[in-house]
Structures are given as structure tokens and as C-alpha cells.
């Protein structure tokens, strides 16, 4: 009888891919299969996120819950970004935790599970050439890491301290992984990295050192072209590109490559050039607007999503008005909006002029309300259009859903045989966040 693994995942797409790797390794090397029933698990893992304070607080309340309901001899492990930055302190605060394995150390999970008190948190451990066993949650879409870590120093961000320095995975390794995924049924490839469009700048020298390519032989555009040549790949998506690296070559490839889905994430963070400078984002309000105008002009049906932080230290009413101005000009299709959350050991944590929480909450509400208006307008504009939809899942009410090329969620009535197919759909109605249609 194989042992049971219960795993909870917090945070981003990169964490979700790490969870797939954890499940794959523990299945292949430690004979675990997954369960959704916490009480029957022999091993409980929480894959954590540190991007804001709330997920960290959630970790310890979850651990307490696990301890209460777990089987007598079940083990508990903590993985992910909070594991990287808290390390052994997690075991000090929760002595019933058996092991801690940080992001970037997932290849060590099999050994750590068998080693009471193991703490593996080297944030620059090089896993770029490690061939993880195979497991994927989604059948038709395959997430593929193309780089690990980040070479930026945004003053509010903890990621460089939890996921380490930026390093690209070799194109050969990526192409092989994609070919395997296509053999297993994937048609859509979802490329992952903190700054995907900075790909090819740093590689491992094979001896654990990260080297910057003097004469860059590889970049994101070349990689996208190579992936497009892989037989069976029908769609390519990616996250997260950095606005700083959205140069003409990148935009040209995004526009002209028919396999690249026409939705793009452009994390703005703030609309104020002064705040962007304090955040060390490296671009200005005007520069960001020009990029979005160019992309919208070249691809009218494109959907642009973004991240916005309100209440960053020193943010004045005028600065916030700039953020609102950019939102009004770009009319984002989706905004992931957050109140600034001080992160340990970041430059912004010790900045003066920390913003009162009431003001930050008021600004967040204003962003959310304005965005809801734009979302309803844009989704309504899709009614009557015909969209190519890739059907990937079934709802409990029997409806089938998938995503259009520009990443609108579309529901139709139909049978399971639609799953994995790309079909033309006439859009007949909308909500603020999804569309309903009819296969034509």
C-alpha cells in the first residue's frame, strides 16, 4: 500500500510547479500518492508563500491545525519561500514540524522526508540541470520553468531573498521537457520565471557558479521561436515578464508569433514615476504607458493584466492619482491589487513615511471599484464575437470551460469529448469575469 501525501500550496505559479515536482519526486522515490483527506495522510506538506505578511501568519495557524487532526505518526513538512526565509526558526516555533525545504531545494525533498529535522534552504542551490520525475496536475497545459530566482532588487520584494539569484535553464533542457509534456498530452505550454523576458542572461557554469553571458547567445525571443517549432505545441503562454525588458524585439515576437497567446502580464506596481524610482522598478509612468499603447495598437484584442501596490512608503495623494491615471488610460483586463506589506530585510521595510493602513485601504478600494467598471465594459465588448477556445475542464454542473487565446474564461454546454480541443465559440453573454458561448 503506498503512503498518502496531503499537500497544500500557497502563492504563485512557480510554487504550483514546485508542488508538482514535490509530488513527482515523492511518488517516484518514496512511494507516496496524493490524498485530499488530511486525516488519512502519512505526510502533510505546506508549500508556502512569503510575498506578504498574511501568508506567513497563515502558515503557523495551518501548522497548528495539522498537528491537531493528523494521524498519530504522520509527518509534517514546510516548503516554499517562507521555508527559505524562516528556515530552522519554523521548527523552533513548531517543534512538531519534521523538515523544512526551501524554494530552489525541491530536488532534495526525497532525502529530507526521511531525515528528522532536515533544513535545506540554500537559496542559490543550482537545480537547473536536475531532471525531476514527471507529474502534472493539468492534462492539456504544461507549466515549464525557464529560469529560477531574480536579478532585480525591487525595494518591497522578498523574492530575491527566498528564491535567490537569477539563473536560466538551458534551452536544450527546456525543449526536452516540453517534448515530454506534449507526448503526455499537453497542447499549451506555460513558461514560468520571475522575469521570463530576461531569459538567457545568466547560466550555471556547471560548478555551482552563476555566470553572466558576455555575448548573449540565448534570449527569450529565440527561446519562444524554438518552442514554437516543437511539434504538438499549439499555444504558448508565459509569466511573469518584466516591463523593463519589453523591448521592440520582444514585442515584435509577441505580436507576430501565432502560437503565442495574446494576453500579457505587465506588472506596473505604481503609476507614479517617483514611487517607481523608490521601488527600483527601473522604468517611468510615461515609459510604461508607451509600451501598453504600442501593444494595444499592434494587437487590439490583447488582454493586459497587471500588479498594483497601493500605500507604498511615501506615496502621496498625487502619486496615487498617477496610479489611477494609468489604470484609466490602459484599462487593464485584470489587476492583482495589494496593499503594501512590509517584508523582512527589504529596503522599503525601513523607509520613512510608512502609509497609514486606513489610507492604504481607501486607495485599494478605489482601485478595485474603478477596475470592476473597466472589467464589465471589456467583458461585455466580447458578446457577439467568435473566439478560439481551448477546452480544459468540466464543472460540477456539467458545463465545460476553457480559455480563449487572450485568456478569457469561456463556458459552453457540451460533452467531455470537447476537453483538449480548440474550437470556435460564438459569445452570447458575459459576467464581469467570464463569458458564455455556443460552439459553432
Residues that bind ligand SF4 in the complex, under the rule CB under 6 A: 150, 152, 154, 157, 159-160, 194-195, 242
Residue 68 C-beta-side C-alpha neighbours within 13 Å:
6
Cβ proximity to ligand SF4: between 154 and 355 the closer is 154
The residue among 108 and 281 lying less far from ligand SF4, judged by its C-beta, is 281
State the angle between helix axes of 171-183 and 220-228 in degrees (0 to 180), rounded to the nearest 10: 30
CB of 121 or CB of 157, closer to ligand SF4: 157
CB of 196 to ligand SF4, least distance (A): 11
Please tell me the distance from the alpha carbon of residue 25 to that of residue 422, in angstroms, as a whole number: 32
The minimum distance between CB 153 and ligand SF4, in angstroms, equals 6
CA–CA gap between residue 139 and residue 188 (Å, rounded): 10
Least separation in angstroms between CB 338 and ligand SF4:
11
Rounded-to-integer distance, Cα 26 and Cα 180, Å: 20
**Closer of 25 and 166 to ligand SF4 (Cβ):** 166
Q: How far is the CB of 159 from ligand SF4 (least distance, A)?
A: 4
Examine residue 178 and say whether the peptide bond preceding it is cis (omega within 30 degrees of 0).
no
**Rounded to an integer, what distance in angstroms lies between the CA atom of residue 120 and that of residue 98?**
12
Nearer Cβ to ligand SF4, position 201 or 242? 242
Residue placing its CB nearer to ligand SF4 in the complex, 194 or 406: 194
165, 151 contact by CB (below 8 A): yes
The span from the CA of 185 to the CA of 274, in Å, is: 48
Smallest separation, CB 343 to ligand SF4 (Å): 10
Q: Nearest approach, Cβ of 267 to ligand SF4 (angstroms)?
A: 7
Nearest approach, Cβ of residue 225 and ligand SF4 (Å): 24
Nearer Cβ to ligand SF4 (165/301): 165
- We find the least distance from the C-beta atom of residue 244 to ligand SF4, in angstroms, to be 9
Q: How far apart are the first and last CA of the chain?
A: 48
- Residue 79's DSSP bridge partners are 47, 101
Question: Among residues 109 and 348, whose Cβ is nearest to ligand SF4?
Answer: 348
Q: Which three cell numbers stand for residue 24?
A: 513527482
How far, in Å, CA of 29 to CA of 148, rounded? 24
Rounded to a whole number of angstroms, the minimum distance from the CB of residue 157 to ligand SF4 is 3
The residue (of 34 and 347) whose beta carbon lies closer to ligand SF4 is: 347
Amino acid at each position: 500500500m503506498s503512503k498518502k501525501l496531503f499537500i497544500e500550496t500557497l502563492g504563485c505559479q512557480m510554487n504550483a510547479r514546485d508542488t508538482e515536482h514535490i509530488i513527482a519526486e515523492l511518488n517516484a522515490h518514496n512511494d507516496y500518492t496524493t490524498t485530499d483527506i488530511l486525516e488519512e495522510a502519512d505526510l502533510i506538506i505546506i508549500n508556502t508563500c512569503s510575498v506578504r505578511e498574511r501568508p506567513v501568519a497563515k502558515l503557523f495557524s495551518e501548522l497548528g491545525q495539522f498537528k491537531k487532526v493528523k494521524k498519530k505518526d504522520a509527518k509534517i513538512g514546510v516548503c516554499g519561500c517562507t521555508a527559505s526565509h524562516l528556515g530552522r526558526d519554523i521548527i523552533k516555533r513548531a517543534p512538531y514540524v519534521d523538515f523544512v525545504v526551501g524554494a530552489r531545494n525541491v530536488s532534495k525533498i526525497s532525502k529530507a522526508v526521511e531525515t528528522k529535522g532536515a533544513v535545506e534552504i540554500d537559496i542559490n542551490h543550482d537545480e537547473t540541470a536536475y531532471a525531476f520525475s514527471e507529474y502534472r496536475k493539468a492534462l492539456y497545459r504544461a507549466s515549464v520553468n525557464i529560469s529560477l530566482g531574480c536579478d532585480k532588487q525591487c525595494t518591497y520584494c522578498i523574492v530575491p531573498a527566498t528564491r535567490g539569484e537569477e539563473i536560466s535553464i538551458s534551452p536544450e533542457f527546456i525543449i526536452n521537457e516540453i517534448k515530454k509534456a506534449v507526448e503526455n498530452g499537453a497542447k499549451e505550454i506555460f513558461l514560468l520565471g520571475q522575469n521570463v523576458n530576461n531569459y538567457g542572461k545568466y547560466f550555471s557554469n556547471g560548478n555551482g557558479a552563476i555566470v553572466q553571458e558576455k555575448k548573449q547567445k540565448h534570449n527569450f525571443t529565440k527561446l519562444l521561436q524554438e518552442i514554437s517549432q516543437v511539434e504538438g505545441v499549439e499555444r504558448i503562454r508565459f509569466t511573469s515578464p518584466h516591463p523593463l525588458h519589453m523591448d521592440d524585439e520582444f514585442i515584435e515576437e509577441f505580436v507576430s508569433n501565432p502560437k503565442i497567446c495574446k494576453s500579457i502580464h505587465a506588472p506596473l506596481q505604481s503609476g507614479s514615476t517617483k514611487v517607481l524610482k523608490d521601488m527600483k522598478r527601473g522604468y517611468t509612468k510615461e515609459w510604461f504607458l508607451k509600451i501598453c499603447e504600442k501593444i494595444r495598437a499592434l494587437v487590439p484584442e490583447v488582454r493586459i493584466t497587471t500588479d498594483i501596490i497601493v500605500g507604498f512608503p511615501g506615496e502621496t495623494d498625487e502619486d496615487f492619482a498617477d496610479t489611477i491615471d494609468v489604470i484609466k488610460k490602459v484599462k487593464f483586463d485584470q489587476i492583482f491589487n495589494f496593499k503594501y506589506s512590509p517584508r523582512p530585510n527589504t529596503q522599503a521595510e525601513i523607509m520613512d513615511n510608512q502609509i497609514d493602513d486606513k489610507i492604504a485601504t481607501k486607495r485599494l478600494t478605489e482601485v478595485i471599484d474603478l477596475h470592476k467598471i473597466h472589467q464589465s465594459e471589456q467583458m461585455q465588448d466580447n458578446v457577439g464575437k467568435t473566439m478560439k477556445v481551448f477546452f480544459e475542464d468540466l464543472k460540477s454542473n456539467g458545463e465545460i470551460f476553457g480559455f480563449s487565446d487572450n485568456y478569457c474564461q469561456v463556458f459552453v454546454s457540451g460533452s467531455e469529448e470537447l476537453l483538449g480541443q480548440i474550437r470556435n465559440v460564438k459569445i452570447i453573454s458575459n459576467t464581469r469575469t467570464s463569458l458564455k458561448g455556443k460552439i459553432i
